[in-house]
Structure 1
Amino acid sequence: MRKILIVGAGQSGLQLALGLQAQGYAVTLMSNRTAEEIRSGRVMSTQCMFHTALQHERDLQINFWESQAPKIQGLGVSVAGPDSQRAVDWLGRLDGYAQSIDQRLKMAGWMETFAQRGGQLVIHGAAVSDLDYFARAYDLVLVSAGKGELVSMFGRDASRSPYSEPQRALAVAYVHGLGPRPEHPDLDAVRCNLVPGVGELFVMPTLTLSGRADILFWEGVPGGPLDVFQGLKDPAEHLSLTLDLMRKFTPWEHARTAEVELTDAGATLSGRYAPTVRNPVGRLPGGGLVLGVGDVVVANDPVTGQGSNFASKCAAAYLASIVEHGDRPFDEHWMRATFDRYWEMAQHVTKWTNAMLGVPPEHVLGLIGAAGRLQPVADRFANGFNDPSDFENFFFDPEKTAAYLASVGGTAA
């Protein structure tokens, strides 16, 4: 039986651990926190997962909360005009529903399931020196802990990482009590509110520890009016500031917030990081090799909501590569080929996300405007969140955009 060590218990690490466990591998999972510490801690992300990523969980029969979580059937876009009213507003319908499940709930539950199924769970923060030892005891060591000392083993790939500094300041609040959306009160959707030159507000329904809730997520241009959460420790102050900014920049969203309150004491999060693609293979001091997983190797800004989706897709791609490899050695050639298999998918979301962080070109503005008049355009844009590779066909190139709009009977606004 092949022995595999996975360091890090997030979406990628846990999904891969449970998948390998089901295939009969002897899996050890290292986490720096217990399930209860995760469950009682702070929120970790905004995680809206679309159909393909959700299907990977269904395939492993670990979709434990699917019946409880809101079914997100659409994705809406609003663009603020100079008068802080909406200049553009539309809703695209998803072909398959999306869902958001608080990672405190999911990761704690998955960790307990892994242990209950006989997996070896080690609660310990790992250092490079630990991995130097473990690399000799395991057939394969995978690192899915996207922060801290271990990430330093994986050098930045400058050719695939155009930004060296964070492009957004991030601020998240989970709330109860958000009022119904008047535009579509009976349909759950993620709403993307774009405030040109300032940032973005995302509002999405989620399942958290205390049941259904909503996530209010500001992405602010660094140094701008939304970049005010750094160092803020008091959750109540965080929520108050979130609402004040909504009143100023997205009053149509603020109108629903009269009765909101935080879901719990750990319901806020803020931070920033530079989007980075890294070398997938880490070399240990003793000469051993480890393979990076998920955010360790491809960390995109959450402006396109792809973090947990591509963590899931990475886990699924790595699982297939490990199983297909049989009893052969997990050497550097295999490691790089395994990452390349994942990069075939991930390159599209990296290109799209980096494009969305910049000033949108004229043809993209026209495309977003046209979606307000042409439902097929809105629907295709929304479903690109499930399959970002489709944006190659109509988003990046002005000629392809014009040809696509012409094919559905429209032109750019």
Structure 2
Amino acid sequence: MRKILVVGAGQSGLQLALGLQAKGYEITLMSNRTADEIRTGRVMSTQVMFDSALRHERDLALNFWERQAPRIEGLGFSVAAGDGSRPIDWLGRLKAYAQSVDQRVKMAGWLDVFVQRGGQLVVHGASVADLDFFSRTYDLVLVAAGKGELVSLFGRDAARSPYEAPQRTLAVSYVHGLEPRPEHPGTEAVRCNLVRGVGELFVMPTLTTSGRADVLFWEGVPGGPLDAFKGVREPGEHLALTLELMRTFTPWEYARAAQAELTDAGAVLAGRYPPVVRNPIGRLPGGGLVLGVADVVVANDPITSQGSNAAAKCAASYLSSILMHGDKPFDEAWMKATFDRFWFTTGKPVTQWTNAMLGGLPEHVRKLIGAAGRFQAVADRFANGYDQPADFDGYFYDAQDVEDYLAEVAGASVAE
């Protein structure tokens, strides 16, 4: 029986630990919090997960909340004008539903299951010195904790990391009482509201500790009017500021929020971090090697809702690579090949698309988003790109590709 240490109890760490546990590996999981501390703590993310990522959870029979969580059937875009109107407003239909489960619910539940199934849980914040010791007693050490001292083991890959500073400030509120969008009653959807030069407001349905809720998520350009949450300590003040910014920049969303109230005392989150790709292999002081997982080595801004999706896909990819490796040593060559497999199938297309959305959108992308309001096929393809980001390579990045694609869609529309 091979012994593997997984450090970090998030989407990737827990999914990977539970997957390996089910295959008979002896797994030790290090978490800096207990399940109860996670469950009663502060929200950690916004975590809309699309079908291909959800399938990895289903493959491991870990989709415990699928019947309770709202089924997200569409993804809509609105673009604000200076007068408070929205000249662009459309809804793309997803081929298969997406879902969001508050990570306090999911991670606490998965952590309980891991222990119930006989896994060894160590509740302790791991240090480099800890890993230096553990690397001598485990066949493989996987680092899935994306913050703190351990990240220093993985150097920044400058060639794959165009940004050195945060490109957005982040502010999240989980609320009850948000009214449905009147344009599409009965349809659960993620809504992306673009305010040029200011930032984005995302509104998304979720399942939280107290049932169905909605997430209000501002992404602000640093130094702009949305960069206003630093120093806000009280949850009520955080929500009030969120709503005031909605009133100013997205009044159609503010109109839904007359009865909005926080779901609980831990329902707000604010911060910022630079998107970065790191070298996947960490070398310990004693010479041992550790392999970085998910956002430890590929951390993207949440503007494209890819964090949990990429984490689930990374866990599934690493699980497959470990199982295929059999009883051979987990050496440096294997670690590199394992990361490269994830990078080229998932990490690279997600990073390329996310970095593009963070920059000022060029004219051809604005034209594409505008065309989605006229052609349902464009709206649907764009929405489903959140599930399969590699598809954007065929029609999104190059101006001529956009022209060719829209001409093709227009021609098909005339033919109908």
TM-score (norm 2): 0.98
Q: Deviations over 1:321-378 (max 9, x none)?
A: 0000000000000000000000012100100000000111110000000000000000
Q: Hey, what does 1:202 align to over in structure 2?
A: 202
CA distance in 1, matches of 2:299, 2:164: 12
Q: CA deviation at 1:410?
A: 6.4
Q: Hey, what does 1:136 align to over in structure 2?
A: 136
CA distance in 2, matches of 1:405, 1:316: 35
Q: What SS class does the counterpart of residue 87 from structure 2 fall into?
A: strand
Any residues of structure 2 matched to 1:292-331 within 5 Å, and which? 292-331=292-331
Any residues of structure 2 matched to 1:13-412 within 5 Å, and which? 13-344=13-344, 345-409=346-410
Do 1:69 and 1:207's aligned partners in 2 also have CA atoms closer than 8 Å? yes
Q: What SS class does the counterpart of residue 409 from structure 1 fall into?
A: helix
Q: CA deviation at 1:407?
A: 1.1
Q: Deviations over 1:224-263 (max 9, x none)?
A: 0000001211000000000000000000000000101000
Q: Deviations over 1:144-190 (max 9, x none)?
A: 00000000000000000000000000000000000121011110000
Instruction: Tell me which amino acid in the other structure corresponds to 2:308.
Output: S
Instruction: Tell me which amino acid in the other structure corresponds to 1:66.
Output: E
> How many pairs align?
411
CA distance in 2, matches of 1:232, 1:351: 33
CA distance in 1, matches of 2:239, 2:278: 34
Q: Deviations over 1:123-154 (max 9, x none)?
A: 01100000000000000000000000000000
Q: Hey, what does 1:6 align to over in structure 2?
A: 6
Q: What SS class does the counterpart of residue 94 from structure 1 fall into?
A: strand
CA distance in 1, matches of 2:125, 2:220: 32
Instruction: Tell me which amino acid in the other structure corresponds to 1:168.
Output: R
CA distance in 2, matches of 1:45, 1:231: 20
Structure 1 vs Structure 2 CA RMSD: 0.8
Q: Deviations over 1:95-128 (max 9, x none)?
A: 0100000000000000000000011011011000
Q: Deviations over 1:278-322 (max 9, x none)?
A: 000000000000000011000000000000000000000000000
Q: Percent identity?
A: 73
Instruction: Tell me which amino acid in the other structure corresponds to 2:48.
Output: C
Q: Which runs of at least 4 in structure 1 moved beyond 2 Å after TM superposition?
A: none
CA distance in 1, matches of 2:65, 2:144: 23
Do 1:6 and 1:144's aligned partners in 2 also have CA atoms closer than 8 Å? yes
Do 1:374 and 1:410's aligned partners in 2 also have CA atoms closer than 8 Å? no
CA distance in 1, matches of 2:4, 2:322: 10
CA distance in 1, matches of 2:259, 2:35: 32
CA distance in 1, matches of 2:82, 2:363: 18
Instruction: Tell me which amino acid in the other structure corresponds to 1:247.
Output: R
CA distance in 2, matches of 1:67, 1:348: 31
Instruction: Tell me which amino acid in the other structure corresponds to 1:216.
Output: L
Q: What SS class does the counterpart of residue 335 from structure 1 fall into?
A: helix
CA distance in 2, matches of 1:286, 1:349: 34
CA distance in 1, matches of 2:84, 2:111: 45
Q: What SS class does the counterpart of residue 405 from structure 1 fall into?
A: helix
TM-score (norm 1): 0.99
Q: Deviations over 1:201-224 (max 9, x none)?
A: 000000000000000000000000
CA distance in 2, matches of 1:67, 1:186: 17
Structure 1: runs of 5 or more not aligned: none
Q: What SS class does the counterpart of residue 191 from structure 1 fall into?
A: strand
Do 1:370 and 1:410's aligned partners in 2 also have CA atoms closer than 8 Å? no
CA distance in 2, matches of 1:410, 1:168: 38
Q: What SS class does the counterpart of residue 165 from structure 2 fall into?
A: coil
Instruction: Tell me which amino acid in the other structure corresponds to 2:13.
Output: G
Q: What SS class does the counterpart of residue 86 from structure 1 fall into?
A: coil
Instruction: Tell me which amino acid in the other structure corresponds to 1:294.
Output: A
